[in-house]
Amino acid sequence: MLKIIRARDYKDMSRKAANIISAQIILKNDSVLGLATGSTPIGIYNTLAHWCDKGDLDFSQVKTVNLDEYVGLPAYHDQSYYYFMRENLFKKVNIDINNTHLPDGTAENAEEECERYHNVIESMGGIDLQLLGIGNNGHIGFNEPSDIFETKVHKVELTESTIQANSRLFDSIDDVPRYAYTMGIGEIMSAKQILIVASGKAKAPIVKELIEGPVTPKVPASILKFHGNVTLIADEDAMSLVK
């Protein structure tokens, strides 16, 4: 069942989500956090960094594993998710960078990279708290709408809708990578706790679909309704189409 927390606006959503992540770290200082990229979590990461800076939060034992990475982008590329995580969180908190993990977008062998990344997640003993954004088409990580739920880390061809949405961050749409590595639905659903965040009017149709629609691989996020401990934090704009 999906627990729903309504937030006033982006700032309120960010603080509420940061509070839950912070509680997780306080309760278990060596928590494994599953982390997400995209515009939505930036306010959460800023808030966590601020609390860490004030000495209220300690990342020294925290381990992280990210959802996804573009195929073909090296870590130093400013649109790689490695770069995003470093700029928005890792360099601002006292985390040991060796405890942070993402798929390697430059790996030569895709199959081996998927296997390696799956084993990284397993070797950490699973994810304590997984943070998720939601794509306009219902994707989580880069699990795009499909006929099946892919369970394990895999290489995925991005949909036109995702390429369009993410082109805002690249010089031209032709620069957006066509493929990505992503955690599978199985690894995401194995997390002990899941937090999914949504903000803004553009997310209102998919948030309505998530809450009111059926569970189907056509809306990958819908599977979350089968998880035992999942919370959606959405602001008023994102909730504006929900009855």
Residues that bind ligand F6P (CB under 6 A): 36-40, 133-135, 162, 166
Instruction: Indicate the residue among 56 and 87 with the shorter CB distance to ligand F6P.
Output: 87
Measured CA to CA, the distance from residue 172 to residue 167 in angstroms comes to: 6
Task: State the nearest-atom distance from the C-beta of 145 to ligand F6P, in Å.
Answer: 13
Nearer to ligand F6P, 39 or 60 (CB): 39
Does the active-site annotation cover 236? no
Six-digit token string for 162: 């995702």
* Minimum distance, C-beta of residue 183 to ligand F6P, in the bound complex (Å): 11
Among 66, 88, 137, 166, the active-site one is: 137
Q: Which of 66, 88, 118, 139 is catalytic?
A: 139
Q: How far is the CB of 60 from ligand F6P (least distance, A)?
A: 26
Residues 6 or more apart whose Cβ sits within 8 Å of residue 62: 25, 29, 30, 31, 32, 33, 95, 99
Q: Which CB atom, from 2 or from 58, has the smaller least distance to ligand F6P?
A: 2
68 is catalytic: yes
Q: Which of 113, 128, 144, 187 is catalytic?
A: 144
Q: 49 or 85, CB closer to ligand F6P?
A: 85
Provide the minimum distance between the beta carbon of 135 and ligand F6P in the complex, in angstroms, as a whole number: 4
The Cβ of residue 74 has, within 10 Å, a number of other Cβ atoms equal to 12
CB nearer ligand F6P, residue 34 or residue 135? 135
In the complex, the smallest distance separating the C-beta of residue 18 from ligand F6P, rounded to whole angstroms, is: 15
The residue number whose beta carbon is nearest to ligand F6P equals: 133
- Tell me, yes or no, if 144 is annotated catalytic: yes
Q: How far is Cα 46 from Cα 215, in angstroms, rounded to an integer?
A: 33
How far apart are alpha carbons 92 and 234 in whole angstroms?
A: 25
Q: How far is the CB of 138 from ligand F6P (least distance, A)?
A: 10
- Residue 212 annotated as catalytic: no
Which of 66, 68, 88, 154 does the annotation list as catalytic? 68
| 113 or 144: CB nearest ligand F6P | 144
Through-space distance between the first and last CA atoms of the chain, rounded to whole angstroms: 18
Catalytic residue list: 68, 137, 139, 144
